[in-house]
Each structure stands twice: as C-alpha cells, then as structure tokens.
Structure 1
Amino acid sequence: MSFAPDLFVGKTVVVVGGTSGIGAAAAMAFAGLGADLHVAGLNASDPRAPAGISVTVTELDVRDAAALASFLDPLPRIDVLVNCAGVSRDRDEWNSEAFANVMAINFFPVMEASLLARPKMGKGAAIINIASMYATFGAADRPAYASSKGAIVQLTKSLAQEYAPDVRVNAVAPGWIVTPLSHGLFSDETASAPIMARIPFGRWGEAREIADAIVYLASPAAGYITGAVLPVDGGYLTV
C-alpha cells in the first residue's frame, strides 16, 4: 500500500476512459482509497471494467460531446478528474480520416471534460491528463497518436495557468506499459527486444505503476505542483 487507505474518502473522482488499461487501474486505485468513483468509457459491461460498491460505470463514446455532458452534469461536485481515453491506429493514421478520429478520441474530449468539470471543482481539486513519451519525440508509425499527446501536454500547461490557484492540472507521460492497447507489441519478442534494451529498468511498466503516479498528482502531497508532465517510463527518455 503506497497511500493512506482513506486518502480519498469523501472525494468524488471521475475517470473518463476508465474501463480498461491505465484508466481502469487508476479507477480501482482511487476506489481502493475510499473515493466515490464515476467511470466512463467503452465496454462498460466488460467483466474487467472497474466495479465495487462505490463505483458507477457508464458506457460512453467520448467523441459524443452531448453524452459526455450528460455523464458529468448530474455530479454536484468533482474533486479529481482523470482524462484517460486513448487509441492508436498505427500507420493508418497517415490517412486523414483516421488521423481526425484519433484526435477526436485522444485530444478534444480532454478539453471538453475539463471545461465541463471546472464549475464543479473547488479549491484543492485536480485534473490529471494522460500524455505519453510520444509527446517528446513523435513517431513515424503513429503520427496522430503522437500529435494528440503533444497537444495534451500543451493543453495541460494552458489549463494549469487558467485554473490556478484553485485547481491543479498535471499530466502523466507513460512509457512502454503493458495494456490492451500495447499487448500485441509486448508479446512480439522480436519487435519488443530493442525497446526492452533501451529501458534502464529492463522491463515494461505495469498499469498500476501509472495509476500510482496519477494518485500522487491528485493527492495533497502534490499540492504545489501544476502544469507538470511526469514521465513514468523506467528511464526510457534518459537514454
């Protein structure tokens, strides 16, 4: 246990894109710390989606702005918002339609959810966005994904300035993390070998390790941190 078990008791936490992968790990971390948790994303009825007495899960396509508003509007208060919806179409992203679709999932809902949540957030609230190592160096094989994550970094910094000092806005930039999105590459030993060789920790990360960073940035321990992008990559970007 990395945190006090009652750290988020009495707090309302929202995770958009929280039905699988990093989002689900973050959601369950908050639930385990006592939060009143509201999760939205695709495949909400999947047995692997977050569940629990204090957890509500809503089926949501984040591209639907009206549905996103309907999800957030009933909540009287939001203490923590985690924006975690994401997708990659790899080399298909060089197609303009696929590029636009990735941006519509990865980037625009971050702005929309942040705008909708802000009136419900009081002093000490926090927004945590999920960026990526690809925000740093780009990628020929996934240009939309890299662009969306770079945009999230700049939006995070802009929101941090606009919402200060009451609401802190930060981002986590995961490296190579084992999730449903990356499992195919992780399982391909030939393709994964050069990645592993560059990671000083010598292994891919786990979703729970990103969840820990998200919880930290949402906690009072990060009370003077805003506009920051925290790499959680086992040292990948240091090489």
Structure 2
Amino acid sequence: MPTKPFNVLESFRLDNKVALVTGSASGLGAAIAIALSQAGASVACHGNRRAATETAAAIGENAAAFRADLASTTGAEDLFTQVKEKFGRVDILINNAGTIHRAAAEEVTLDDWQQVLQVNLTSVFQLSQLAARDMIPRGGLGTNCGKIVNIASLLSFQGGIRVPAYAASKGGVAQLTKALANEWAPTGIQVNAIAPGYFATTNTEALQADETRNRQILDRIPAARWGQPEDLAGAALYLSSPASNYVTGTVLTVDGGWMGR
C-alpha cells in the first residue's frame, strides 16, 4: 500500500500544541503569538507593565493572557506555573521579553545592569529550564517534544553604542542557545534563536525619532527600511514547527541584509 506523500506545508502546522510567548503585549511578541495561533497553536500571551489582553483577544478562545515580572528572580517560575495551570503543558517557548537601558557605559549603575541581565538573559535561562523539565519526559531521540526559540539581536554579534548591558545580554542569549541545544538535542528539544535587525517597535522609538541615527541605520540596511513585526512571524513559525526538527543551535538573522553588508 503506497504511503502518503510528504506535504511540507503540513509540517508548519502547530495543531494541539501549546505555545508560551513572553513579551507579547505588542510589537514582535504579539506578531509571533498571532502567527503561531494561525498555525493552530493555543497561545499563552505574557505581559508585564502592559497586559497582553489585547493580543489574547485578537487570537480568540485559544489564547489567554498572563502577567508576571521577569525582572524579578521569581517571575519566570510564577509565569510558568500560571501557564501550566491553565493549559497543562508547554510545547513551544518563545523567549521574546526584553528591556534596554541606554546610557554611556561609565554612567550605567549596577542596578540598571542587573535588571537588563535579569530580564534579557537570566529569565531566558530560567524559563528554558522550566520548559525543558516539562518537555523532556515526553521526548527522546528522534522525537520532537518541544521547541525553544530565543529572541537574540544584531548585538549578539556587534557591540552597539551606549547599550553595554543589552549587548552583553544578547551575546549571552546567542551562546546560551547553543549550549542548551547541545544538551537537549538528544531529548527531542530543538533550541534556536532569531536575531532581529532594526525593527519599528517601542524599543527603537528613540532611534527612529533621531534624524541622524535613523538615516545612518537606513543607509546600512540593504532593504532600505525598518523591519515590521510581521517580518519576524515566518521565521518564528518555522523554528516552532516540525519543519525545523533537524535545526538546532542556530541563530537566524532577520535583518533586511544588515549582517551581510
């Protein structure tokens, strides 16, 4: 009896999967959450200062909004517990939540430094660890039991200006992604990262408003425009789906050509 031909489009489906997307009240996180829901996933939408209720409402009945402060050392566990109570498990974790502090390096306080590292790097490890503990019992060699996608940055590769803590944290995210991928690949977990280029979000409002910096940035981007949140959705879906089951430990740039120039 002939086997059913492989349909690559089906490998992008996320039916019966539960995804947790941190920092999904707006911007990149909201676009990712909506994309995963369109592929069939139930989505836990996380926010902190701004609740993710609008994103959850846009998705509909297969989504719920959660609130937790990832700047707190207990925030990750608080969030994961809430999501487990609602959905029972997590199959896909998108570590998107982040913060940035702009100042001359000699003026950055230790409190500012530690807050950026806690949100951008430590909470990523904490949530990944919690997710892996949930996923590993369902997996094994050759089995896809979970996906972890971290949001890195161009500053995972470059130093940036006036953002030392952010650059350090995003460099750490890239290396953490590789380290976790090495350890968890045999368990059926793929860990990857996306490094967005310059996207038009609230985090880059100051740069967009600065006429000189805005021009310098656009002159460097071969695509000659700022990225829009939806430009990240396809990459996030790919790395969250069975289509990427043999992809792990990679940092995928989505930058309009910035790193290739």
TM over 0.5: yes
Residue 46 of structure 1: how far off its partner (Å)? 6.1
Residue 43 of structure 1: how far off its partner (Å)? 3.8
Q: How many residues align?
A: 237
- Please say if residues 43 and 63 of structure 2, whose CA atoms lie closer than 8 Å, have aligned partners that are also in contact: yes
Out of 88, 91, 94, the residue aligned to residue 103 of structure 2 is: 91
Give the structure 2 partner of residue 198 of structure 1. 220
Give the structure 1 partner of residue 4 of structure 2. none
Residue 223 of structure 1: how far off its partner (Å)? 1.1
Structure 2 CA distance for partners of 1:173 and 1:10, relative to 1, 3 Å? same
- Please say if residues 52 and 65 of structure 2, whose CA atoms lie closer than 8 Å, have aligned partners that are also in contact: no
Residue 48 of structure 1: how far off its partner (Å)? 4.5
Structure 2 CA distance for partners of 1:202 and 1:101, relative to 1, 3 Å? same
Structure 2 CA distance for partners of 1:6 and 1:97, relative to 1, 3 Å? closer
Residue 208 of structure 1: how far off its partner (Å)? 1.2
Deviations 1:121-160 (A, max 9, x none): 1331100000000110112310000000000001000100
Give the structure 2 partner of residue 23 of structure 1. 29
Q: 2:129, 2:238 → 1: CA distance? A: 23
Give the structure 2 partner of residue 233 of structure 1. 255
Give the structure 2 partner of residue 118 of structure 1. 132
- Please say if residues 5 and 33 of structure 1, whose CA atoms lie closer than 8 Å, have aligned partners that are also in contact: no
- Report 1:112-151 matches (<5 A): 112-121=126-135, 122-123=138-139, 124=144, 125-151=146-172
Q: Does 1:161 align with 2:159?
A: no
- Please say if residues 19 and 43 of structure 1, whose CA atoms lie closer than 8 Å, have aligned partners that are also in contact: no
Give the structure 1 partner of residue 72 of structure 2. 64
Residue 176 of structure 1: how far off its partner (Å)? 0.3
5+ residue gaps, structure 1, are none
Residue 49 of structure 1: how far off its partner (Å)? 3.6
Structure with the bigger percentage of helix: 2
Q: 1:212, 1:160 → 2: CA distance? A: 21
Give aligned-pair identity as a percent.
36
TM-score by length of 2: 0.85
Residue 53 of structure 1: how far off its partner (Å)? 1.2
CA RMSD of aligned residues (A): 2.0
Q: Higher Cα Rg: structure 1 or 2?
A: 2
Structure 2 CA distance for partners of 1:92 and 1:190, relative to 1, 3 Å? closer
